[in-house]
Amino acid sequence: MPWLSYRKALNRALGDELARDPAVFVLGEDVRVAVSNVTAGLLGRFGPERVLDTPLSEQAFTGFATGAALAGMRPVIEFQIPALLFLAFEQIVNQAHKFSLMTGGQTAVPVTYLVPGSGSRAGWAGQHSDHPYALFAHAGVKTVVPATPEDAYGLVVSAIRDDDPVVVFAPAGALDVRVDVDFATLAPVPLGVGRVHREGSDVTVVAIGHLVHDALAVADELAGEASVEVFDPRTVYPFDWDGLAGSVRRTGRLVVVDDANRTCGIAAEVLATAAERFDLSAPPARVTRPDGAVVPFAPALDRAVQPDRDQLATAIRKVLKD
């Protein structure tokens, strides 16, 4: 079977949806020259009316996409840097996200906001290394964080077909992941449905995005000590609480690893919901970036603020002892 990389999965999903539905078009800064490689080849296949380069004004082209969606189109915006979402937050959360409610369901705003390279990348420093998916989950915007190439493909396809705005964070730490896959098996992945990557009986680890791969590695390392189940929510809003409940029923213990700041993060929400809804055999634990962390430029300091495998292993051992 052929290899599929995460980047190519994003590219393939865009190409397949552009071919399937003439209402789909892609826009963003430098998408025609495919600076991020995610839109590579799309201009040649679909032409300049379906692949649009935009001016350097995120507020302007995000608002433009909302109008296009209201007129029946399905825009996909590429944001090359996650912090650009801060500039367009009002257009996404206060406009696109609320139009359907404010019109009593008479309108739909099917815009997909794609961030290929969210989180830390070596040398990108503080203003380019955010992972702000919790902001959009807090606001109730559909928000997905795929961990694998096949899920990246399936979730992007579902996001484009969804009638609501969807933000897709493609973690920088996952972009180089490759899998051996039969392309014929690639399919849409429903929003709001998690995935158990590894079954276990002693502790559930909820891992967000690229940290799924770290969690699987730690589960292998601890195989002689504990049976670790790895749960990937895939969609942080809506979150698959029923899927997580089933996992925790099997294990009785919970650890969350989340590459975002500690306060008000997805990890905090998972622990709070677990305390309200689940019967746990021990207090849960979370592994995150430090509180209020800003990623430094220096590589060693950058790595120091990232959740790592040693921290995760320590957290797992702690909940197993309690």
Cα separation, 23 vs 108, whole angstroms: 14
Q: Per the residue annotation, which of 128, 131, 197, 213 is the catalytic one?
A: 128
Q: Which residues pair with 314 in a beta bridge?
A: none
* Number of C-beta neighbours around residue 175 at 10 A: 23
Between strands 142-144 and 235-237, the pairing is: antiparallel
What are the φ/ψ torsions at residue 49 (nearest 5 degrees)? -80, -15
Whether 128 is catalytic is yes
Cα separation, 33 vs 36, whole angstroms: 9
| Helix, strand or coil, per DSSP, at residue 316 | helix
Q: Give the E-state strand segments of 190-308 in sequence order.
A: 195-198, 203-207, 228-232, 235-237, 254-258, 285-288
Active-site residues, by number, are 128
